[in-house]
Structure formats: structure tokens, C-alpha cells
Amino acid sequence: EYARAYNAYSAALRLAPVGPSSHVFLSNRAAALLSMKRYEAAATDAKRAI
């Protein structure tokens, strides 16, 4: 289900790449990536969320 979550958060970011919820989408997508062992991509999203 982590891939599904990743896809959902990616879709949300396409709709609202900048805004009050974008940091939530990025941090949640980072968590999904971390669970999928995609560490570099997770770190990138986590940094963007800050």
C-alpha cells in the first residue's frame, strides 16, 4: 500500500505544488518512500517539506 500512498501524495502535489498543505504531502510522501526503501528520494522530499 505504500506505492498507492506515494501515488496519491504525488497526485496531490501536482494539484497543489505550493500551498498550506504541500509540506504535509511532501512529508507523508517521504514516509511512504522510506517504507519502500527509496532512501534518497525520501530525503529529498523531507528536505523540501522543511
What was the pLDDT predicted at 9? 98
What was the pLDDT predicted at 8? 98
Structurally, the chain folds into a number of domains equal to 1
> What digits encode the pLDDT tens for the residues 3-32?
999 999 999 999 999 999 999 999 999 999
- 38 lies in which domain range? 2-49
What was the pLDDT predicted at 34? 98
What was the pLDDT predicted at 26? 98
Q: Is 38 left (phi over 0), alpha (psi -120 to 50) or beta?
A: beta
Burial class (CB in 10 A: 0-12, 13-18, 19+), 6: buried
